[in-house]
Amino acid sequence: MSGRTILVVDDEAPIREMIAAALEMAGYHCLEAEDALSAHSMVVDQKPDLILLDWMLPNTSGIELARRLKKDALTGEIPIIMLTAKGEEDHKIQGLEAGADDYITKPFSPRELVARLKAVLRRTTPIGVDSPIELRGLRLDPGSHRVTSHGHNLDMGPTEFRLLQFFMTHAERAYTRSQLLDQVWGGNVYVDERTVDVHIRRLRKALGEEHSQMVQTVRGTGYRFSEKVEQSE
């Protein structure tokens, strides 16, 4: 699980630092935010793998931020663990109803936090994000960062790899250029939508004749990845 990015949202700097130290010791990369506003922009821009979110935040509460993130298609799949000093049952239920994946009451030990975090990541990580995925002889392995076609290595750049990983984990659905920019490049990255076309061409070239047909142009919309090559538009 090491190498995953965790966003720690807490208005108390000593608590953020304690959590970040424990997570970095366990091999995670940490981002820190002290309020809901800065946390939201970090989520959109950095796409963390998990959010540790304190219930009590200035201005906008953690529970309100959780609801907002879960309602947005771009951020709704990011798992959230609520952190709070409140031990009452109704707060736990509110947190889970808002979309939180787990709930930890302060004070907690760093070992407990890391164990709970690993459990949530295991439970919420879709196939192909952390483990290999294969479609029609095309295999993408996130661990080794390799793409193979029937066992033969395919050479592609990091952006093409991320684009292919997104496509293979979201097959059979059409995405606009704007949606692909949000999902693959990040929500706050300002690049022209035609950049997507350039990388699509590079990806098709890297995939070779057999698999390039799986990256399909959908007229009037954008692109889709499909095993059903006969449906190409």
pLDDT at 96: 79
Same topology, domains 5-124 and 133-231? Answer is no
CATH for 5-124 is: 3.40.50.2300
CATH 3.60.21.10 fits 133-231, yes or no: no
Q: pTM for the whole thing? A: 0.59
Asked if 176 and 167 count as a contact pair (C-beta separation under 8 A), the reply is: no
**Cβ neighbours of residue 63 closer than 8 Å, sequence gap 6 or more:** 55, 82, 94, 95, 98
Asked if 216 and 204 count as a contact pair (C-beta separation under 8 A), the reply is: no
- Domain ranges, ordered by start, for the chain: 5-124, 133-231
**pLDDT tens, position by position, for the chain (233 residues)?**
456 899 999 999 999 999 999 999 988 999 999 999 999 999 988 889 899 999 889 899 999 999 999 888 778 889 999 988 766 667 777 777 888 888 888 888 888 899 888 888 877 665 556 678 999 999 999 878 899 999 999 999 888 998 999 999 888 999 999 888 878 876 555 667 888 999 999 999 999 998 999 999 999 999 999 988 654 44
pLDDT at 231: 45
Q: d(Cα 140, Cα 154) in Å, to the nearest integer?
A: 10
pLDDT at 178: 87
Q: d(Cα 120, Cα 100) in Å, to the nearest integer?
A: 10
pLDDT at 232: 41
